[in-house]
Structure 1
Amino acid sequence: MAVRKKKSRRTAPRTRRKTREPAWTRLSDEALLQKRFCDLRLSLRGTMVERHWKEVQKDLLSRGIRFRPHLWLSEEWFSPDGVPGIAVPFYMAHPRLMRLERLIMDEVEGGNANWLTRILRHEAAHALDNAFRLRRRKGWRKTFGPATRPYPDVYRPRPASRDYVLHLGHWYAQSHPSEDFAETFAVWLQPRARWRRDYQGWSALKKLEYVDTLMKELKGASAAVDNRERIEPLSEDTRTLAEHYRQKRARYQLDRPGAYDLRLKRIFGKRSARRRHLRASTFVRRVRPQLERLLIRRSRLHPYLVHHVLRVVIQRCRDLDLVLETSQREAKRAVLGVLERIMMDILRRDRERYAL
């Protein structure tokens, strides 16, 4: 007797249900800026931060580090003292907010995969420092310096120095002992890292070897501080995005745009009807890309600050009707010095304001 084959039922492939985008994603920039942080109802679930954080966690586990720092959304990147966790800036929760951040601040810190992973490794170091109270160890202080040292208003890195590792850029390890440790840890944590070869002959190799020894001691250890506190969480922030950006940009504003006119007049001359010279504003605008690269590379200055100060200087050159009378090379060097002085004054004023 022939056996009838049972007809197989073809089932339609399951279609993923698209997550409905929040209504605020369709707002204009002006309307979005009027939204409060707490009303955005943001989450890190499904974001690029969550994906890359899983990779960093795997790296920690592969090194025998059991502790897992917690993440939460806030205004900026930071790991607060005494809390073994990492605050992630709100704009990392949605592409629409990343576009707004780039529009207003000229850059998205952690906006690409490589940069984001580097930041997460760096911040994981701060979280582990808090979790295991590493900065209290005599060896830690001897290797990196006292963590109680005040953060500088602005630091002048030594690009040729071999005392520090290179990780986030702008020679950030040179800014403070805590950042020196975080940068060293981040280099050590990289999978398949060849730090022994890459830093052979560097004084920074001793720091990497210290971190390697220290992390071996922490294998399987439980954290001394394991609270899940969230400092300045976004869900409790009732300010609008407009207020946030107004305050953020205010830190970079010039109180008196004409305060540096005398310095500019020493570099450039006054326009004369008898002689034709290149306008100073035109010259600065032409060399602006070079000046921006130099200023951002020399110290960890926010691009918005660099761009803003350059705009102000170009406008002042135009208002004063200044022209180029010296060689372009000499003038570029002198303008760079003025720009650095202006930004140092802004940062110093900002630090004094928040210290009150």
Structure 2
Amino acid sequence: MATQSKLTKAKPKKARRSRSREPSWVHLSDEELLQKRFCDLRLTLRHTVIDQHIRRIRRDLTRRGIRFAPHVWLSEEWFSPDGVPGIAIAFYMAHPRLMRLERRMMDEVEGGNASWLTRIMRHEFAHALDNAFRLRRRKEWRETFGDPDRPYPNVYRPRPASRDFVLHLGHWYAQSHPTEDFAETFAVWMQPKARWRRDYQGWPALNKLEYVDRLMSELSGVLPHVMNRSLIEPVSENETTLAEHYRRKRARYEFDTPEAYDLRLKRVFGKHRKGRRRMRASTFVRQVRPEMERWLMRRSRLYPYLVHHVLRTVIQRCRELNLVLDTSKHEAKRALLGVLERILIDILRRDRERYTL
């Protein structure tokens, strides 16, 4: 009798879903992508550049004995909420396609290169660490950095030549508030000790770095006091469209009252008078615009979109006021730079009142 052996046919294996499979919205045009809601993008931080940076900073803290690993999530902006030992990551960091859209809409990607991303992450880790260990409640912390409950100033006048503060993120951010002073100082402290000792030798800011160094030694091996894992404004629950997000973001940099700076512009330029041939102020500003932009973006690390927008508005306002150049170009250029910095810092201060890092 013949054996009735059956050969069981092997079922074809289901193809594994590739982790690198791109979401469908990647291939949309910018106009189509802007109509998408945040929650529909289904974004994740897994296997992204930002994920690698987070792991690296956590390892750096572990090597220093600091037992703290803040939770992270995606939101519309970079921030670390008060009382929450975590960090919200700007949504566009989740995918190169979103970073390209951010660049088109805002002229720049905040954190878009490795160096800038490291600076931001160290700054945000500092805020999360502050929340986790309630550092601002310490007497020496307050003596070193100031009152953390002090409201952000209505007028933010940085002193570029001051050596009382470290320089890290740009536009003299450490000077804006005690909590930002701590975050910037911590971010610099994360660099090798030999480097920050050398860079800040002779600066009063070195005392702040030395305090942070002692403080981190005290925290070695200590568990955080606050360990909640709250997610504030995650994109997964955000039904706002990208178009509305960018409309609001651009509006934050608008002049509420452009005429508020008329007096400053009139101090730089003169009023047009019949019979006197003078270069129009609007023409002069257009001529020096590339130099002003380089200075403001490189020296002060101000956002390109903001710089471009302010210069466009100043040119328009000079035209409306019919202003002319009545001093040397050298003097006018120096005075104009001062006015531009004043306007830019005022806008950043106003923005910071709503969106603190």
Which TM class, normalised by the smaller chain length? 0.7 to 0.9
8 Å contact kept, 1:154–1:347: no
2: CA distance between counterparts of 1:130 and 1:349? 24
1: CA distance between counterparts of 2:149 and 2:309? 32
Which residue of 2 is the match for residue 190 of structure 1? 191
Stretches of structure 2 that go unaligned for 5 or more consecutive residues are 1-15
Which residue of 1 is the match for residue 334 of structure 2? 333
SS at match of 1:73: strand
1:282 Cα deviation from its structure 2 partner: 2.5
TM-score, normalising length: structure 2: 0.85
SS at match of 1:291: helix
Stretches of structure 1 that go unaligned for 5 or more consecutive residues are 1-14
Q: Aligned pair in 2 of structure 1 residues 187, 207: CA closer, same or farther (>3 Å)?
A: same
1: CA distance between counterparts of 2:320 and 2:332? 18
Which residue of 2 is the match for residue 178 of structure 1? 179
Q: Aligned pair in 2 of structure 1 residues 256, 221: CA closer, same or farther (>3 Å)?
A: closer
1:320 Cα deviation from its structure 2 partner: 5.4
1:68 Cα deviation from its structure 2 partner: 0.5
1:337 Cα deviation from its structure 2 partner: 4.2
Which residue of 1 is the match for residue 272 of structure 2? 270
Which residue of 1 is the match for residue 43 of structure 2? 42
8 Å contact kept, 1:156–1:299: no
Which residue of 1 is the match for residue 241 of structure 2? 240
Q: Aligned pair in 2 of structure 1 residues 45, 191: CA closer, same or farther (>3 Å)?
A: farther
8 Å contact kept, 2:156–2:349: no
Q: Aligned pair in 2 of structure 1 residues 154, 261: CA closer, same or farther (>3 Å)?
A: closer
Which residue of 1 is the match for residue 290 of structure 2? 289
SS at match of 1:184: helix
Is 293-302 or 45-54 further displaced after alignment? 293-302
1: CA distance between counterparts of 2:318 and 2:208? 47
2: CA distance between counterparts of 1:348 and 1:143? 23
1: CA distance between counterparts of 2:146 and 2:122? 21
Is 314-323 or 61-70 further displaced after alignment? 314-323
SS at match of 1:71: strand
Which residue of 1 is the match for residue 314 of structure 2? 313
Q: Aligned pair in 2 of structure 1 residues 85, 260: CA closer, same or farther (>3 Å)?
A: closer
Q: Percent of counterpart pairs with the same letter?
A: 75
Q: Aligned pair in 2 of structure 1 residues 153, 29: CA closer, same or farther (>3 Å)?
A: farther
Q: CA deviation digits over 1:214-250, x for unaligned, max 9?
A: 1111111111100111111111111011111111111
Which residue of 2 is the match for residue 91 of structure 1? 92
* Residue-pair matches, total: 339
1:321 Cα deviation from its structure 2 partner: 5.5
1: CA distance between counterparts of 2:264 and 2:168? 36
For the aligned residue pairs, the C-alpha RMSD in angstroms reads: 2.8
SS at match of 1:287: helix
Which residue of 2 is the match for residue 129 of structure 1? 130
TM-score, normalising length: structure 1: 0.85
8 Å contact kept, 1:157–1:298: no
1:344 Cα deviation from its structure 2 partner: 5.8
Matched, 1:141 2:107: no
1:295 Cα deviation from its structure 2 partner: 4.1
Which residue of 2 is the match for residue 161 of structure 1? 162
Q: Aligned pair in 2 of structure 1 residues 153, 257: CA closer, same or farther (>3 Å)?
A: closer
1: CA distance between counterparts of 2:317 and 2:326? 17
SS at match of 1:194: helix
2: CA distance between counterparts of 1:161 and 1:262? 27
1: CA distance between counterparts of 2:188 and 2:354? 35
Is 248-257 or 223-232 further displaced after alignment? 248-257
Q: CA deviation digits over 1:41-70, x for unaligned, max 9?
A: 111111110111111111001100111001
1:270 partner letter: H
1: CA distance between counterparts of 2:353 and 2:58? 38
Q: Aligned pair in 2 of structure 1 residues 217, 255: CA closer, same or farther (>3 Å)?
A: closer
